Amino acid sequence: MPDQRIERAEGSQRMSQMVPPLNQLYFYLTEGCNLACRHCWLSPKLDPDGDQYPTLPVALFEVAIKQAMPLGLSGVKLTGGEPLIHPKFCELLEIVRLEDLQLNIETNGTRCTPEVAAEIAKSSRPFVSVSLDGADAGTHDWVRGVTGCFEEAREGVRNLVAADIRPQIIMSLMRCNVDQVEAVIQMAERLGARSVKFNVVQPTGRGERFRDGTDGLRVTELIELGRRVETELASDTQLELIFDYPLAFRGLSRIASGEGCGVCGIFGILGVIASGHYALCGIGQQVPELVFGRVGVDPVEQVWGEAPVLNELRAGLPERLEGVCRQCLMKYRCLGSCVAQNYYRSGRLWEPFWFCEEAEKLGLFPASRLSNSPTGQQR
């Protein structure tokens, strides 16, 4: 009978070989937000001044980074809620700066004063995304739920540009603003942005109400719009345009060029939520079983290497994906698009991505991207 100690040692060695570097920490700094966006997948509580709901303590932020550095940490993303309402935001920037980490910030822009923009600009290679969901105040303010936030967001973009940071503009697509896509691109050009990313509203949190096609766009419309953005509109601007739908719907030439999003980073990312817990991502605020441990109590090396969900994903992706995702030829890059969204729907990691599943039911999933179809090409 084999020695159990040898079996355990061999099992531990195999597991250590499976554990990839921890490249990124995604910090969801606040449980509150100064806006009340109708489509937000995390549904933070309205907190105009950032003092009503929990924010991640600076000490825990620093602990998480210090412990992750030996595991390969190269960058952090600061998001929320709204990260800029964190009362010690500039202290967090200083910690990132001292470790010379790549800095990525997702913000609604309303609190990006000239002083904050200047602090961000001190970091190494900062990348900032600012949400603008319409080309006029009426549209954007309706989406974001607070009057006056359109002009504040645009001023935030101007402040970033003045600090020599050309931000990305993010537009979440819905029924009320779909006719403003070209106008938002033109606005981004005037403001001095570097790119525009068009987000598909995810059916999670407040975004669930956008699934019926009344306030949200149907998959048919999104596919058509995505192809228009990537071909017609992209050729009319110097800005990079990114349409964030699954990789299977993008042309081969665009995939080969590496333009836009599409490669899932789930094997190298760990979330830190405002409560001070590690999680798959921000979804841990809504799905307790995707929370893995507490910062400062559970060493990040242990969490990263031993959390059952993370190891199940490492062992199972993409082969265990189900439905159309199992058949998709892009699955080794796409990895199911967003495991958090898939799990939110059903409580199962291997569910097909909702967008692809709906497209398949409608006969719109590209046949050339399916393993059981004749060889073909999509350009």
Phi first, then psi: what are they for 139, rounded to 5°?
Answer: -70, -50
Return the pLDDT at 18.
81
Return the pLDDT at 260.
54
Which segments in the chain show pLDDT lower than 50? Answer: 1-16, 374-379
The SS3 of residue 299 is coil
Return the pLDDT at 17.
55
List of residues 6+ apart from 235 with CB closer than 8 A: none
Return the pLDDT at 377.
42
Return the pLDDT at 15.
44
pTM: 0.92
Superfamily of domain 20-267: Aldolase class I (3.20.20.70)
Minimal CA–CA distance to 242: which of 179, 199, 193?
Answer: 199
Do the beta carbons of residue 352 and residue 324 sit within 8 Å? Answer: yes
Return the pLDDT at 252.
74
Return the pLDDT at 1.
40
- What is the SS3 assignment for 27-42? EECECEECCCCCCCCC
Return the pLDDT at 257.
62
Return the pLDDT at 10.
39
